Structure formats: C-alpha cells, structure tokens
C-alpha cells in the first residue's frame, strides 16, 4: 500500500482534515523533547479526540526491543482495538519503533507518521520499513508496515539541532546520488550553504517523492530498492561499532558513501577526481573530526559488515556508483571495505 504523503508548512494544524483517520482512538508516540516543542500544537490539531500519549526516548541507543515492549504494554494496557491507530511524532527512531508497534499490535493496526527531522521526512518515515536494533546490529528485528499517511511540515524543523539537520541533508544527497543525478549536481558544492540557510524544503520533498516511487515499485526490497542502501552498508557497521552514539546516522552514511566512492574508483567504474571531490564535500560537511575515532582494523566493524542483514553469508552485495545518479549493485569483500576505509581516512583525516 502506498501511503498519502502531504507536504506543506502549517500542515500540522490541519492534521485531522488532511487524512481519513480511523474511527478509534489516536495513540500518540513521541519523545519528551518533541512534545515539549510541539505537543500543544498536535493535541490541538487532534481535538476533540482524546489523545493517548505514549512517551519514548528518541535516541538510537534506545531503539530496542525493550522500548518496543514498553509501547506494546502501554497500548495493550489501554485496551487497544482494531480501529485505534498510532501517530508517530518524532525522528526516525520514533517512526521506526512506533511503526513496528503498529505492525504487531493485534497483528497490525493503522498508523500515521509526522516526522520532525529532515532525515525522517526524506527517508525514515517513507517506505514502510519499521524496526528496532539488536545489540549485534541495526534494524535486525522489524517488519514492513506502511503508514496510512505521512505529514511533512517543515515548520516543525525550527527547533531541530544543526547536527540533525545536516544528518538529514546527507541522506537527501544519497537519494540524489543514486536516483537523480541532476539534483545531486545542483546540491554539490552547496551543502554547507543549504544547511546554514536551512533551505531544504524542496529537496526534502523531492527526496521523499523519489523514495516513495522506488518503494512503490519494490516494496519488499528484492531489487531496485537496494540502491537506497548506498553508503549504508559501511555506515551501519560504523554506527554499530560505535554502539550507535559516536556518529549520527548521516555522519556514518557520509563516510560510508565516501568509502563506496573510493571502491568505485578502485573498480575503475567512477572517475577518481570526481569521487574525491564528492567524498571531500561529504566528509567536511559531516565534520572531519568525526573520522578521528575510526580504526579500519576494528574487529567490530568487520563483524558488523559480515552480519549486515542486506548480505548473504557467501556474497556481500553493496551499492557503488558508475556515475552520478547511476548506482551499481556489486559484491564487495570485507577486505576491500577495510582498505578503502583506510584510504578515506588517509586522504581526508585531519
């Protein structure tokens, strides 16, 4: 099922009229931070419905089975029934966990996503992937369960910290690099300026639409959808090695993309100068100081790569680039990742 995505500043106030809501009660899953900034607005938007609020911590470290269980317990304690629905109100962690709770309660109730970060607007809340992390890897436990509707209202981004905004912009660049070369060319050389000026409304909308189109053609990620994992194979491994708190998702993906580009150069499918320019912008945008704690020999990175759920044991497909906007899914060995990462660190580290 393809959900309705509504874009527009001021959309939050009109939430109830934008979607055909089920007849039951809304369970609002959100974090104390988001509710502190925008709680009054969403409560008002849902009035006169009684909103049942379930609070969760909105950090990658708490995207766990325990957090999921706490949500399930609260919803069941409130006697959730089939006509009730969940609204996730927060970043990607909230939509991933709340969406999985919706998938599992009574074998699936409906849900709506109101993303409050660029990352969630452009990527996480789109496409129906829900999940929690396991100590041994990211998103290892989850389900495909599309929201009925997604509201993207950039007004809520006013309170988003700079590092989070940048993280989302990296994910938008990723989408452009694999699916819209023209958009990638227009962004190149301007990422810093876009982040400082916070001018990403159109880019966010375009990235969300691209993802939606790809996902609607390949909802279960058996083919084309894999290209959206560009930068994520190594990115997830770096996040896992740092126990999910040294790097933001966008920072890890930026390093992952720079490394995938380096492999593309080694494979002679992508021009070296171009790859270095793109890699340099990504790394500088994410912050070169983020490279400091990374050791290519770290066995945790190797283990996480070997266990990445996108991969088979015997072969490890990864997304490389044959050109800007032209992805290629090919096998990459663990040693190739290690060497390319060492090269990226040597080239770009402070």
Check residue 81 for interaction with a second copy (CB under 8 A): yes
- Binders in 11-40 for a second copy, by CB under 8 A: 24
Using CB under 8 A, which of 143, 269, 277, 330 touches a second copy? Answer: 143
Q: How far is the CB of 108 from a second copy (least distance, A)?
A: 7
3-class SS at 290?
helix
Q: Of 130-138, 181-189, 258-266, 328-336, which segment contacts a second copy by CB under 8 A?
A: 130-138
Check residue 212 for interaction with a second copy (CB under 8 A): no
- Binders in 288-327 for a second copy, by CB under 8 A: 306-307, 309-313
Q: Which is nearer to a second copy, 30 or 139 (CB)?
A: 139
Check residue 129 for interaction with a second copy (CB under 8 A): yes
Contact 200, 250 (CB under 8 A): no
Check residue 139 for interaction with a second copy (CB under 8 A): yes
89 has which bridge partners?
30, 114
- Binders in 220-249 for a second copy, by CB under 8 A: 220
Angle at 58 between CA 107 and CA 218, to 5 degrees: 50
Using CB under 8 A, which of 4, 40, 47, 83 touches a second copy? Answer: 83
Q: Which is nearer to a second copy, 41 or 143 (CB)?
A: 143
- Using CB under 8 A, count the residues that bind a second copy: 36
Check residue 1 for interaction with a second copy (CB under 8 A): no
3-class SS at 331?
strand
Q: Of 64-72, 209-217, 270-278, 321-329, which segment contacts a second copy by CB under 8 A?
A: 64-72
Question: Long-range CB contacts (< 8 A, 24+ apart) of 68-76?
Answer: 68/97, 68/100, 68/101, 68/104, 68/132, 71/29, 71/97, 71/98, 71/101, 72/101, 72/104, 72/105, 75/27, 75/101, 75/105, 76/105
Q: Which is nearer to a second copy, 43 or 82 (CB)?
A: 82
Contact 153, 12 (CB under 8 A): yes
Q: Which is nearer to a second copy, 131 or 195 (CB)?
A: 131
**CA-CA distances (angstroms) from residue 35 to 25, 58, 89, 271?**
19, 11, 8, 47
DSSP result, 164-221: HHHHHHHHHHHHHHHH-HHHHHHHTT-HHHHHHHT--HHHHHHHHHHHHHHHHH-TT-
CA 133 to chain centre: 13
Dihedral angle sign, alpha carbons of residues 232, 221, 322, 195: negative
3-class SS at 300?
helix
Check residue 76 for interaction with a second copy (CB under 8 A): yes
**Residue with token string 């490279």:** 291
CA dist 29 and 39 (Å) reads 11
Using CB under 8 A, which of 8, 43, 55, 134 touches a second copy? Answer: 134
Check residue 77 for interaction with a second copy (CB under 8 A): yes
Check residue 97 for interaction with a second copy (CB under 8 A): no
3-class SS at 73?
helix
Q: How far is the CB of 24 from a second copy (least distance, A)?
A: 8
Q: How far is the CB of 222 from a second copy (least distance, A)?
A: 10
Check residue 131 for interaction with a second copy (CB under 8 A): yes
Half-sphere exposure of 259 (CA within 13 A, CB side): 33
Using CB under 8 A, which of 8, 13, 59, 144 touches a second copy? Answer: 144
Check residue 333 for interaction with a second copy (CB under 8 A): no
Q: Which is nearer to a second copy, 18 or 241 (CB)?
A: 241
Interface residues toward a second copy, by CB under 8 A: 24, 65, 69, 72-73, 76-77, 79, 81-83, 103-108, 129, 131, 134, 136-137, 139-144, 220, 306-307, 309-313
């Amino acid at each position: 099922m393809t959900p309705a995505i509504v874009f527009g500043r001021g959309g939050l106030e009109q939430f109830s009229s934008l979607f055909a809501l089920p007849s039951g009660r809304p369970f609002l899953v959100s974090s104390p931070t988001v509710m502190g900034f925008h709680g009054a607005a969403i409560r008002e938007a849902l009035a006169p419905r009684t909103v049942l609020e379930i609070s969760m911590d909105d950090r990658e470290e708490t995207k766990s089975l325990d957090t999921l269980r706490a949500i399930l317990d609260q919803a069941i304690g409130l006697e959730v029934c089939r006509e009730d629905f969940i609204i996730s109100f927060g970043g990607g962690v909230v939509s991933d966990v709340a969406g999985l709770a919706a998938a599992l309660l009574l074998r699936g109730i409906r849900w709506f996503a109101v993303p409050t970060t660029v990352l969630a607007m452009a990527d996480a809340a789109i496409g129906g992937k829900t999940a929690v992390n396991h100590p041994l890897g990211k998103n290892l436990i989850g389900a495909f369960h599309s929201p009925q509707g997604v509201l993207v209202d950039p007004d809520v981004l006013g309170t988003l910290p700079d590092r989070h905004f940048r993280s989302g912009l990296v994910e938008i660049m990723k989408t452009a690099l694999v699916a819209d070369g023209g958009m990638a060319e227009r962004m190149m050389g301007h990422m810093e300026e876009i982040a400082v000026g916070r001018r990403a409304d159109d880019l966010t909308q375009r990235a969300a639409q691209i993802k939606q189109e790809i996902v609607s053609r390949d909802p279960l990620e058996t083919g084309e959808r894999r290209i959206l994992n560009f930068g994520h194979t190594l990115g997830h491994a770096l996040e896992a090695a740092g126990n999910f708190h040294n790097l933001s998702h966008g920072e890890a993906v930026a390093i992952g993309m720079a490394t995938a580009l380096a492999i593309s150069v080694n494979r002679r499918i992508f021009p070296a100068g171009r790859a270095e320019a793109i890699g340099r912008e990504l790394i500088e945008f994410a912050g070169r100081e983020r490279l400091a704690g990374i050791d290519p020999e770290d066995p945790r990175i190797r283990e996480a790569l070997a266990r990445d759920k996108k991969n088979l044991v015997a072969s490890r497909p990864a997304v490389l680039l044959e050109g800007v906007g032209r992805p290629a899914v090919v096998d990459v060995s663990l040693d190739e990742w290690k060497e390319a990462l060492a090269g990226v660190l040597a080239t770009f580290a402070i």
